Structure 1
């Protein structure tokens, strides 16, 4: 894993496997707190990042342990922007899933194990965009800060 911290942001690159993804998410969470991301928003960011990064590992790079994931986080006075890039498989239809959660109106033993990730990402982020260019997936997550949350510049 490589980490490059700079004024107002950081870049992180890691292997597309569960262990490195977990380490990267924890690293990002701690680093963003140090950059001044408000605590509650940092918790939201951690959940959204975990869902997005795990999707890359599990789906974009399924069966390809040689894949790499890059995360760039930049912060300004209005909020946080995160760009996740990979060269794995594209999202189906080249679009972000609708994020409709799986139904929980069923018996406990029949509850789904997944189907909530894109719902959570959409709920926690202020803006989510995806594009695929030259074989690269680019997922952008934006988190705005309320006036009370904004850090002084």
Structure 2
């Protein structure tokens, strides 16, 4: 097993709030995690959580903005947890709270499954300590992804 980097392992990453920027930023983000002893499954979870979170920001927080906004990610690893803080200057969450996971009947044919609406349920299921706050014009989403315990 690779040596775990000495604490604190941390970095920040900025990206434009566009779909194209999200795709490129995800690859860079995962590359920056290379020094950590993470399994392919853990990297898959991290990629899914980040993709869902960043795409929600692009699709909803920046929906009515004429120019894409800036998204900032702060990542820290310690005690077998990846701590993420994602900020943007987009529109606030409705009622300034994280959406509650929607209940869906998944015992139906694939073509009858609803499109969309699974993102925050997935994020909540795959992470811990998810929170959202609005500070002035800034959205602040934080979460913890348990990793590296294998």
TM-score, normalised on structure 1?
A: 0.83
* 2:12 is aligned with 1:11: yes
**Secondary structure, counterpart of 1:42 in structure 2:** helix
Runs of 4+ deviating beyond 6 Å = none
* 2:115 is aligned with 1:113: yes
User: In the alignment, what sits opposite 1:38?
Assistant: 38
1:22–1:37 CA distance, 2 compared to 1 (3 A): farther
CA distance in 1 between partners of 2:103 and 2:119 (Å):
8
**Secondary structure, counterpart of 2:47 in structure 1:** helix
CA distance in 2 between partners of 1:50 and 1:37 (Å):
21
Q: CA deviation at 1:37?
A: 4.7
User: In the alignment, what sits opposite 1:81?
Assistant: 83
1:134–1:18 CA distance, 2 compared to 1 (3 A): same
User: In the alignment, what sits opposite 1:128?
Assistant: 130
User: In the alignment, what sits opposite 2:94?
Assistant: 92
CA distance in 1 between partners of 2:145 and 2:21 (Å):
24
CA distance in 2 between partners of 1:29 and 1:53 (Å):
14
Q: For structure 2, which runs of at least 5 residues remain unmatched after alignment?
A: 1-7
| 1:11–1:73 contact (8 Å) kept in structure 2 | yes
Aligned residue pairs, count: 141
**Secondary structure, counterpart of 1:131 in structure 2:** strand
Q: CA deviation at 1:98?
A: 1.3
User: In the alignment, what sits opposite 1:140?
Assistant: 142
| 1:95–1:131 contact (8 Å) kept in structure 2 | yes
**Secondary structure, counterpart of 2:22 in structure 1:** helix
User: In the alignment, what sits opposite 2:51?
Assistant: 50
**Secondary structure, counterpart of 1:36 in structure 2:** coil
Q: CA deviation at 1:113?
A: 1.6
| 1:102–1:114 contact (8 Å) kept in structure 2 | no
- Residues 44-76 of structure 1, C-alpha deviation per residue, up to 9 Å, x if partnerless? 111111000000000000132331111010111
Q: For structure 1, which runs of at least 5 residues remain unmatched after alignment?
A: 1-6
